A and B are shown apart, each in its own frame.
Chain A
Amino acid sequence: NAGVMQNPRHLVRRRGQEARLRCSPMKGHSHVYWYRQLPEEGLKFMVYLQKENIIDESGMPKERFSAEFPKEGPSILRIQQVVRGDSAAYFCASSPSVAGSRDEQYFGPGTRLTVT
């Protein structure tokens, strides 16, 4: 049973370019979360999505960041016009669709974004 998959694992972008990070949840999971981890820091919640719906985006920066989880295909975290401060590890997690199990989140290996 494959776990949460993220790609690419490493992404290098120049300032001003766009970054697209992809996340495929575990089989049977329809809840996806994105977190950002800066060096020497814990994970900071960004956004929580279900299929075709954004449930909680309270951790998303107001500008340049967007996320989607379409009916078909992976969840996408998109960062427009990247700046050096966006350099971080971005982790995706998914959780089961069974009621009452939503907080058991399983993490992917992360995408390490470097902005030069």
Chain B
Amino acid sequence: QKEVEQDPGPLSVPEGAIVSLNCTYSNSAFQYFMWYRQYSRKGPELLMYTYSSGNKEDGRFTAQVDKSSKYISLFIRDSQPSDSATYLCAMSENRNAGKSTFGDGTTLTVKP
């Protein structure tokens, strides 16, 4: 069993929709949670970074962490065609570990 499981998708939504992307994890030592966006044939770009349960908002993006359920989510409001990409969740045990464990990614397409 993988340490991090991500909803595989692909996901296709109309422009303006609210998108929910989800990951579960089994390692209770994970304390830091990240979301990356990766465009085709590009490197991952850090979107959100959080270390506590609850919500963190940044513009149209909200990251939600529920450590008791070992579940994290990324919400995208008012989705745009430019949001079409693969979204990767990532986790690490502590800030000094260096190593991050990634989900396999969810590919999102936002249709105009």
Contacts and interface: CB of A to CB of B under 8 A. Distances in A.
B34 A103 contact: yes
B44 A107 contact: yes
Contacts of B96: 102
Interface centre among A40, A95, A103 (most CB of B within 10 A): A103
A113 B96 CA distance: 30
Interface size class of B (residues with CB under 8 A): 20 to 34
B104 A58 contact: no
Interface size class of A (residues with CB under 8 A): 20 to 34
The 7 closest A-B pairs by CB, nearest first: A107-B43, A48-B98, A42-B102, A42-B104, A43-B102, A107-B44, A45-B99
Interface of B: 4, 6, 32, 34, 36, 41-46, 49, 88, 90, 92, 95-105
